Amino acid sequence: MERNKTVIIVGAGLAGLSCANQVLQLSSKHNVVILEKLGKAGGNSIKASSGINGAGTRHQKEQDSPAQFFDDTVKSAKGLGKPELMKVLSERSAQAVNWLEQDFGVDLSVVAQLGGHSVARTHRGGGKLPPGFAIISALSKPLEDKIWPNCRVLELIRGSNNQVTGVKYVQGSTQHELMGQVVLASGGFSGSKEMLMRYRPDIAHLPTTNGPQTQGEGQQMCGLIDAQLREMDQVQVHPTGFVDPADPSNGTKFLAGEALRGEGGVLLDAQGKRFVDELQTRDVVSRAIMDRDGDPTLVLDQRAYSRIQHHVDFYMMKGLMRSGTLADLKAEFGWTADPEVSTSSEKYYWGVVTPVVHFTMGGVETTAHGHVVDKTGHVIPNLYAAGEVTGGVHGANRLGGSSLLECVVFGRIIAESIVNS
């Protein structure tokens, strides 16, 4: 492979797949290699269930704009993060949705309003497939011969002037070197107890929605070459991970996607009372839960169920939700009075939920073009990063639907930067 035309992407989640596809769409002269430490593509992206944000798309019924989305993002960030990255995220959000639909045939026609958003702008499909799975499946198909599974990157190789020239990786028991421009799309560190103890010991005891692959290797490798890390203590606690009745103490929880609340699900305490606006930002809802005794119950009536039926059916198949009459619901939790839900519904759907470590907002510092910068603020040549490995896009709190969006927007931007350099 011609070294200066080889693009090495570390990680086959949505950020890596978006970057790879965009490089190949823009240039026939570049070679792409995706080093994935697991046996298949997907990362955390494949589990995303609520959707991807887009401001000003053809599917939205309410008037929306990038400026309005930017305002919501800045408000959620609470003074942290980099507004220039948030501006790019919002301005290119509709393009991201259109790209997935038009170039890859992903259905994103259903729009919901999630917590912290002023309008409905989180897009998902109308079929049975969750949006993360649908998007990953579509974007990985053109890249089957580009994804190298079971390849764990160990180290960034540097040349003169701190320039990154390639990576060292291991496949099986054999170590290799691969030379080229490097894109880190390796994800966050919410699956690493060691890193959580270092940066957020106060929440390290909580269960997580993350798989064991989210160990923060990208952030660690960048730290070793004096790349700037920012806001590493900003770790998102999602308010609703399902408590599995068959295994309630399991430290890894299945996420109760925010779309469940976005489509009308309510949170009830031990007395069957609502105690928080379910569409507040995730940090606010999580804090309201943790300030009370016991885990709440997420309840949907028949109308809410009809809007998000495939999700609920899947959760019931997994044994995480149940259904029944109002009398059944009251009997399960010992409520003598009617709970604070619509009492006219023929049927209800419910599951017990608990706060979970979900997402790391902090990470590697990048420019608006995806370049990684060092501790002096200078760009590290030939090194890029996108997705959860980076910091600055979300500040103190990520809005639902912006993780998939971040991956697509900045993965594509990095591809443009590489091809045009």
Query: What does the pLDDT look like over 253-270, one tens digit per residue?
Result: 999 999 999 999 999 999
Please confirm, yes or no, whether 230 is among the known catalytic residues: no
Per domain, the residue ranges of the chain are: 5-187+361-420, 237-357
Chain mean pLDDT for the chain: 97
pLDDT of residue 211: 85
Decide: residue 309, CB within 10 A, 0-12 exposed, 13-18 middle, 19+ buried: middle
When pLDDT is cut at 50, 70 and 90, the band that residue 411 belongs to is very high
pLDDT of residue 3: 54
Cα 287 to Cα 117: distance, rounded to the nearest angstrom: 19
Alpha-carbon separation of residue 114 from 35, 193, 329 (angstroms):
33, 29, 25
Cα 134 to Cα 132: distance, rounded to the nearest angstrom: 5
What does CATH list as the number for 237-357? 3.90.700.10
Please confirm, yes or no, whether 412 is among the known catalytic residues: no
Residue 304 has pLDDT above 90, yes or no: yes
CATH 3.50.50.60 fits domain 5-187+361-420: yes
- Given 123, 230, 238, 358, the catalytic residue: 238
Residue 1 has pLDDT above 60, yes or no: no
Instruction: Give residue 400's Cα distance to chain centre.
Output: 8
Pairing of strands 371-373, 379-385: antiparallel
Mean pLDDT of 339-356: 96
Cα 358 to Cα 360: distance, rounded to the nearest angstrom: 7
pLDDT of residue 362: 99
Helix, strand, coil shares of the chain, percent, nearest 5, are: 35, 25, 40
pLDDT of residue 212: 83
Measuring CA to CA, which residue among 387, 372, 11 is closest to residue 224?
A: 372
- Given 261, 311, 394, 412, the catalytic residue: 261
When pLDDT is cut at 50, 70 and 90, the band that residue 39 belongs to is very high
Q: Model confidence over 199-209: pLDDT tens digits?
A: 999 999 999 99
* Cβ burial 61-97 (10 Å sphere, 16+ → b, else e): eeebebebbbebbbebbeebbbeebbbbbbbbbbebb
Residue 2 has pLDDT above 70, yes or no: no
